[in-house]
Structure 1
Amino acid sequence: MVWTEIRKILIIIFGALLNAIALNVFLIPANVYASGFSGASQLIATILEQPGLTGIILFILNIPVTILGWKKVGKLFTIYSFLSVIMLTFFLEIIPIVEQTEDILLYSVFGGVTSAIGVGLTMKFGASTGGMDIIAMVLSRMKDKPVGTYFFILNSLIIVIAGVYFEPEKALYTLVALYATTRVIDVIHTRHEKLTVMIVSSKAEELEAAIHARLVRGITTVPARGAFSKEDKNMLVMVITRYELYDLEHTIREVDPNAFTNVVQTTSVFGFFRKD
């Protein structure tokens, strides 16, 4: 359990390092913008003509969001997310902004992909990069709309402002970076807010107890029988948020490594779904 948490912290730090590299090495030198609060911080710093302040601005923007996440999302999740923000701010301060090439398209693609790997790894291990991720999650629960809707709104604002403040060409390159980021994150980690998990196990009672000890989620248990083995088992069905997937996977591995688990996208949920 201790090693699991240590590995999680190391992955979060590594993800922050990749995000900092994406910004200071690729995106900032080309005036191409990242997604979410990182892009918003970039834009503010550029308008102020102080690109080196991107990390400090990002940290300041995340303070009220961290308070919101603490109250509405979850304390441990918020702590890990704020750790990601702190480390990203630190790396942005120590990694120099250096122009490597005049090819803005290369900057856009490599910046978007590098950022996506950092964000995707952070999400895969049960945290977020803070900022818009937390806001979108809270709004999604309040309004019952997909998280992607809120990401699209903020990123659209970044693109429009970049196009007005600079040339329209910069906005188009920002679109390229955002597209690369989205596609890679989809490969590494799901962008869906809610997921349905079906677990077939011969240790259903132990799994139920372990899951309830770690997650605040209801479980429906259905009798099941292996068609080939003829062995009687149980299938646990539950709906979770994407941020709980990491903890659930580890709980299943600890209790029943032989359990068969299927995770599918959930478009919407009707009826009771705990939101706090």
Structure 2
Amino acid sequence: MNRFHEFSIKHEFVTRSLIIIVSSVIGSIGLNMFLIPANVFSAGVNGVAQLVSGFLSMNFNLSIDTGILIFLLNIPIFLIGWIKLGAKATIYSFFSVLAFSLFALIIPVQEIIQDPLLNSIIGGILIGIGSAYCLKYGFTTGGFDLLSVIISKVTGKSVGSMMFMMNLLVIAGAGFLYDWKQAIYTIISIYALSIVVDKIYTSGHKLTVFIVTGKEQEVLDVFKKNIIRGVTVLPGKGGYSGVDRSLLMVVVNRYELYDIEKLLHSVDENAFVNVIATEVVLGEFWTQEQQKAAFALAKGQTE
């Protein structure tokens, strides 16, 4: 078990590090080669950094690179993330922003196509891909992404919709600072980003996980220690082998699936798992804030 745990930690670190690098490159390309050349603004803090950079350049003839502003504007948001999401997710998010800022400095601002509509769509899609895969692996690209995850986990609303609502500020800024034509292109870019994030990440969506295992008690024990979700246990039997097995059913949010996969793999590598989308959940289904409160209560009772 210890060897598996060590391997799991190393594998997780390598995977997340690769995700940070690849997503930062993809996002920086979307920003520097599609959005900035067309004067179209990105979502979140990236867009705010573009607005601040443009404002300083036009009014004070002061040129500050967008990558530097992205990093500086994210600092207070990281403090909020540290409190609400914990150290682990925030540290990965910090390195994600650091990598994005560096690649935004390295990758040149270069116009590839001259159509502002295509620039808006392609730039939004590329930045959305980078953001979504970071979210999928348990951290963010900082900025409004981080705030959106916090709000989503409290309210149960989808991350994409939260991002779009918060980015109305960027849209308004684009309209007042430049013109409303650029604001419309910014809306298109942010909408494309939001759609991509919800398609890839879908944290606000519910999933039903069916697990066929011969190690029922071990799986239940590790679930009880690490997640607060109701698990229904049904008797089962292999259709070909005739061996008795248990069928476990649990409904989770999308962001919990990654943790369930790791926990399950730690006790039963041969478990069969089927995940299906769930349209509606009736009855008590806790948000992450409620889960944290329950964990804290349980910890206090055992001490």
**Superposed pair shares fold, TM > 0.5:** yes
1:151 matched to 2:163? The reply is yes
- Residue among 193, 213, 216 paired with 1:201: 213
Corresponding residue number in structure 2 for 1:61: 73
State the Cα deviation string for residues 30-74 of structure 1 (Å, max 9, x = none). Answer: 111122222222222222226752222221222122121112112
Q: What is the one-letter code of the residue matched to 1:86?
A: L
Q: Percent identity?
A: 35
Corresponding residue number in structure 2 for 1:24: 32
Q: What is the one-letter code of the residue matched to 1:260?
A: V
State the Cα deviation string for residues 181-234 of structure 1 (Å, max 9, x = none). Answer: 223333332242665544333322222344456x34344242232584565433
Change (3 A) 1:179 1:224: farther
TM-score between both structures, scaled by the size of structure 1 = 0.85
Change (3 A) 1:234 1:89: same
Corresponding residue number in structure 1 for 2:299: none
CA distance in 2, matches of 1:140, 1:120: 14
In structure 2, the residue corresponding to 1:29 is in which secondary structure?
coil
Corresponding residue number in structure 1 for 2:204: 192
Quick check: which has more Rg, 1 or 2?
Answer: 2
Deviation at 1:116, TM superposition (A): 1.8
Corresponding residue number in structure 2 for 1:172: 184
Give the aligned length: 275
Deviation at 1:111, TM superposition (A): 0.9
RMSD, aligned CA: 2.8
TM-score between both structures, scaled by the size of structure 2 = 0.78
CA distance in 2, matches of 1:185, 1:145: 13
Corresponding residue number in structure 2 for 1:217: 228
1:42 matched to 2:50? The reply is yes
Q: Which runs of 5+ in 2 are unaligned?
A: 1-7, 293-303
Deviation at 1:267, TM superposition (A): 6.1
Deviation at 1:170, TM superposition (A): 1.0
CA distance in 1, matches of 2:198, 2:39: 25
Q: 1:254-273 residue pairs with structure 2 within 5 A? A: 254=266, 255-265=268-278, 270=284, 272-273=286-287
CA distance in 1, matches of 2:81, 2:279: 23
Q: What is the one-letter code of the residue matched to 2:187?
A: L
CA distance in 1, matches of 2:195, 2:117: 17
CA distance in 2, matches of 1:143, 1:124: 19
Matched-pair contact (CA < 8 Å) for 1:217–1:240: no
Deviation at 1:88, TM superposition (A): 0.7
Q: After the TM superposition, which of the residue ranges 50-59 and 4-13 deviates more from structure 2?
A: 50-59
- Residue among 130, 135, 160 paired with 1:123: 135
Q: What is the one-letter code of the residue matched to 2:272?
A: A
